[in-house]
Amino acid sequence: MSRPTAISFADIKAPQRGTLVIVAEEGPKIGSAAKALDKKAGGTIARAMKVAQFKGKKGSVLDLLVPQGLTLARLLVVGTGALKDYSETDWLNLGGVIKSKLTGREGPKAQVIVEGAAAKSAIGAGDIANLALGAWLRGYSFDKYKTTSNNSADGNGATKDHLKKLVIQCKGASAARTAFKRAKAIGDGVDLARDLVNEPANVLGPVEFAKKLRLLSKIGVKVEVLGPKAMADQGMGALLSVGLGSRKPSQLVVMQWRGAGTKSRAKPVAIVGKGVCFDTGGISIKPAAGMGDMKGDMAGAACVAGLMQALATRKAKVNAVGIVGLTENMPDGNATRPGDVVTAMSGTTIEVLNTDAEGRMVLADALWYAQKRFKPQALVNLATLTGAIIVALGKEYAGLFSNNDELSQRLKKAGEVTGEKLWRLPLGAKYDKLIESKVADIQNIGGRMGGSITAAQFLQRFVNEDMAWAHLDIAGTAMDAPKTETNQSWGSGFGVRLLDRLIADNYEG
């Protein structure tokens, strides 16, 4: 995993050497420091922008030959549009655009001057921190298994490890530095989730995943691991049925962060993640094409891991529980067969008509366990659950299903702010009829129509009526999602920033 670029902050002072990036608002308009630099260059920067018809529009970039009179190695001008209209996502994307243009070939250090061209474009410490986070996230790459020395570090053809440091020059550098500490904690959580999703399944099975989660104890997270016997003692027949065909034993990992204080009696927020480390489909085996992507079928669990790290690192004042069901779905003589009936922890009997509808089996027991043991004030689960959600929403939105309008609105708002967008789909009694079984309480599939909805209806059977619950189907957004200004990785880390914001805005003391 490449993380070649350190980020620091400094007060505005035009550098003399290295690579320099200046931002220009639409017009184009540049700040006073850039104007002073242009004056030193005899007005060459302004003339170059005019000749190139550079207007400072959002995302536009002008790469200049260094004007006579300056000793810089490279000079870039990046357009921002109108800064006064910027959202959090805009600042993140600006940081991503800037990082994507910095190859480091000109030298190990680059500096960015970030200042508004007018008083109304005032820039706060949080804005600078988000710009820095965008650059940080864009710098991620998973190159752990590459053995060549010239592999790409940023998905943009840049040679890795050349750009060692990015200095962001701004007003109030000290405040920006403080704000970035919190942002970086979240960014590191995103990168942990990305690392886990990108790992091949022969390296990251259920046991290895659980071992990685045990490391969170070093930052104050209490971690417990339940093996097959402990899960059987709890009656988790649904989760265990998924892993029967694998030689790798299933695990249930419970992570607790008590940031509200050791004496606090505040009910926790519980986040549950599907962790199918590899999904062949079991006896209902998948087609060979694209099966390799099923190493990412544990992206829900990866998000929970990244979130718990972020909460602990930034010392979030909340009680939170993260629970992940880790297993591997393989065909074998001992594997669950289509038509088998298993009993979930809740006592519900399930007819398994399709062993490739396994994620809901994992979540059924994990959701019930979370409620029985912790009695949370809110319960959210994430899963790469259905291909049907990609058919319905593409890869721009994750599906949201909820029995609680307030929780649903809170999640949608967090998604709008962070850019990790959600679209709510319905639940209803008529859909519930589609999963009624002739031989058991329910069956694990509901037919071709409304596949994402019937999967959510299945999960709702394992949620108490008075529990505020939401299910996020992240199949289209957590792996092989469209590349963005802040993510060039196959595993996106989707959900970490979303849920951190949900908790920060609604559940922290």
> Each residue of 426-457: pLDDT tens digit?
999 999 999 999 999 999 999 999 999 999 99
Contact between residue 376 and residue 387 where contact means Cβ atoms under 8 Å apart = no
Nearest to 353 by CA among 440, 290, 250, 264: 440
Nearest-10 crossing angle of helices 173-198, 496-506: 130
Which pLDDT score, from 0 to 100, does residue 13 have? Answer: 86
- Would you report the helix, strand and coil content of the chain in percent, each value rounded to 5? 35, 20, 40
Residue 204 pairs in a beta bridge with none
Q: Which residues are catalytic?
A: 286, 360
For residues 256-285, average pLDDT: 94
What are the structural domains, with CATH classification, of the chain? Answer: 6-171 (3.40.220.10), 224-506 (3.40.630.10)
| Pairwise CA distance, residues 154 & 151, whole Å | 9
Across the range 345-371, mean pLDDT stands at 98
What is the per-residue pLDDT for 331?
97
Sorting pLDDT into bands at 50, 70 and 90, what band is 105?
Answer: confident
Q: Tell me the pLDDT tens digit for each residue of 6-21.
A: 999 999 987 778 899 9
* DSSP 8-class letter at 440: S
Model confidence pLDDT, tens digit, residues 375-423: 999 999 999 999 999 999 999 999 999 999 999 999 999 999 999 999 9
* Length of the chain as a residue count: 509
Can you say how many angstroms the Cα of residue 162 is from the centroid of all Cα atoms in its chain? 26
Q: How far apart are CA 424 and CA 405, in angstroms?
A: 10
Task: Tell me the whole-structure pTM to 2 decimals.
Answer: 0.95
Q: How are beta strands 61-64 and 269-279 bridged, if at all?
A: unpaired
Number of other CB atoms surrounding residue 160 within 10 Å: 19
Q: Three-state SS string across 310-360, please? A: HHHHCCCCCEEEEEEEEEEECCCCCCCCCCEEEECCCCCEEEECCCCCCHH
Q: What DSSP letter does each residue of 64-94 carry, written as one string?
A: EPPPTT---SEEEEEEEE-GGG--HHHHHHH
Mean of the pLDDT values across residues 204-220? Answer: 98
- Mean pLDDT for 153-179 is 77
What's the gap between Cα 240 and its chain centre?
27
